Amino acid sequence: MQNNNFKKIADNLLQPAGIEIDGKHSWDIKVSNPNFYGRVLLQGSLGLGESYMDGWWECKELDEFFYRLLNARVPDNVKISWPIITGFIKARLLNLQSQSRAFQVGEQHYDLDNNLFEKMLGKTMAYSCGYWPKAKTLDAAQIAKFDLICKKLDLKKGQKILDIGCGWGGFAKYAAEKYKVKVVGVTVSKEQARFAKELCNGLPVEIKVMDYRDLDEQFDNIVSVGMFEHVGLKNYKEYMQVARRCLKESGLFLLHTIGSPKSGNNSDPWLTKYIFPNGVLPSLKNISQTVEGLFLIEDVHNFGADYETTLIEWYKNFEKVWPKVKNKYDERFYRMWKYYLLSCAGAFKARYMQLWQVVLSPRGLEGGYKSIR
């Protein structure tokens, strides 16, 4: 009886999104376990994701399901669940991104399997949004993103560049080869560092496994791609202070980050548990407040809509490689990874999440900054 009541509540919540339970559309969900309704209503996004991993429900087009769900702002009409409450309390009372915890995301996510990531991400090994205005392929979109960053920083031959959160070294390799600069990349992932050192062998690129807070040398320019999401509200100011002390007066700092249109504890309980431990999305308000007294904002570029295409391409690659790697994992991992990629694709399509490139200068460029697109 209780499950029937929960089902009625779920039906009413999904109606504005045009989603039906056991409906005929590709974005409708098929529920196989009646306990699904109570679990999701009690646990919110954590319950939704875990019940999918457990095989309690199916959907032919997960990305379209999430697009419709989030475009109709259905989560805004759901009462705050216990995981959300505890997550908010933890974020406020604890520093989940403290220096002692800095390597956790590297160990849990980025150290997972270089072979899997290589097959999924493509030749560039770029694990961030590609730039798609003219690109036809994933590799081309990532190269376009690399070049966009280099042009925005106005890189010059012989300059020394800092890459905070350098990943597998794709940008460092591109900048060193195409723009003849020296690059120092830092990461908290040992596996990323090992791969990046091999990738950049013979180039003026140095890769270090270290926390950004330990940086203390000066650079002509700084870039940080897809790392600020791991910094955390309590550490934003220190992060910017580190960047400021490492940047020459004449330099530029490009911050490339996923963001939220609203300020607050923008972390998803399921994503932080299974994919990105301690992750939290900044808002533009967070960024602007944090850089006060340290940097002047020269340019803000939002191309978050491009992330949907990027994620769909990653998912296609993941599906192709799965038969070759599945002996290392289990069905629950497969469903977790599929849910991760396609739920995020739907969220970006609904503009529920944003992607910003913010160009910062210490004191403002004389004559102004020329926006590059």
User: Could you count the other beta carbons within 10 Å of the beta carbon of residue 77?
Assistant: 10
Pick from 76, 33, 120: which is nearest to 334 by CA?
Answer: 120
Least confident of 136-140, 242-246, 267-271, 364-368: 267-271
Least confident of 63-67, 98-102, 228-232: 98-102
| Residue 199 scores a pLDDT above 80 | yes
* Averaged pLDDT score across all residues of the chain: 90
Mean pLDDT of 94-101: 47
Tokens 């700084």 identify what position?
222
Single pTM value for the model: 0.89
- pLDDT of amino acid 2: 62
Least confident of 71-75, 83-87, 333-337, 353-357: 83-87
Mean pLDDT of 211-216: 94
| Residue 245 scores a pLDDT above 70 | yes
Domain boundaries, the chain: 2-93, 104-304+353-361
First-to-final CA distance of the chain: 57
Q: Chain-centre distance of CA 180, in angstroms? A: 28
Tokens 């961030």 identify what position?
128
- What percent of the chain lies above the pLDDT cut of 90? 74
Q: What is the spatial distance between Cα 329 and Cα 227, in angstroms, rounded to a whole number? A: 27
- pLDDT of amino acid 294: 98
The first and second tokens of residue 132, run together, are: 């798609």
- Catalytic hit among 59, 129, 150, 344: 344
Least confident of 107-116, 155-164, 210-219, 292-301: 107-116
- pLDDT of amino acid 286: 95
Q: How confident is the model at residue 305 (pLDDT cuts 50, 70, 90)?
A: very high
Residues of the chain by 3-state class (helix, strand, coil), percent to 5? 50, 15, 35
Could you read off the pLDDT of 36-51 as tens digits, one per residue?
998 998 888 999 999 9
What is the CATH topology of the domain spanning 104-304+353-361?
Rossmann fold (3.40.50)
Q: Are 280 and 233 in contact (CB under 8 A)?
A: yes
| Residue 285 scores a pLDDT above 60 | yes
CB within 8 Å of 188: residues ≥ 6 apart: 102, 103, 105, 106, 110, 209, 210, 211
Mean pLDDT of 282-295: 96
| Residue 104 scores a pLDDT above 70 | no
Active site residue 59: no
Q: Chain-centre distance of CA 130, in angstroms? A: 12
Residues in the chain: 373
User: Could you count the other beta carbons within 10 Å of the beta carbon of residue 328?
Assistant: 10
b vs e for 228-257, b when ≥16 Cβ sit within 10 Å of the residue's Cβ? Answer: bbbbbbebbbebbebbbebbeeebbbbbbb
Could you read off the pLDDT of 1-26 as tens digits, one per residue?
466 788 998 898 999 999 999 999 99
- pLDDT of amino acid 42: 86
Q: What is the three-class DSSP state of 102?
A: coil
- What percent of the chain lies above the pLDDT cut of 70? 90
- pLDDT of amino acid 115: 84
| Residue 112 scores a pLDDT above 70 | no
Mean pLDDT of 352-369: 95
Pick from 145, 132, 117, 86: which is nearest to 272 by CA?
Answer: 86
Q: How confident is the model at residue 288 (pLDDT cuts 50, 70, 90)?
A: very high
Q: What is the spatial distance between Cα 109 and Cα 104, in angstroms, rounded to a whole number? A: 8
| Residue 315 scores a pLDDT above 60 | yes
Q: What is the spatial distance between Cα 331 and Cα 256, in angstroms, rounded to a whole number? A: 33
Q: What is each CA distance from 320 to 141, 306, 323, in whole angstroms?
A: 20, 22, 7
Could you read off the pLDDT of 77-94 as tens digits, one per residue?
765 444 444 444 444 454
Mean pLDDT of 337-347: 97
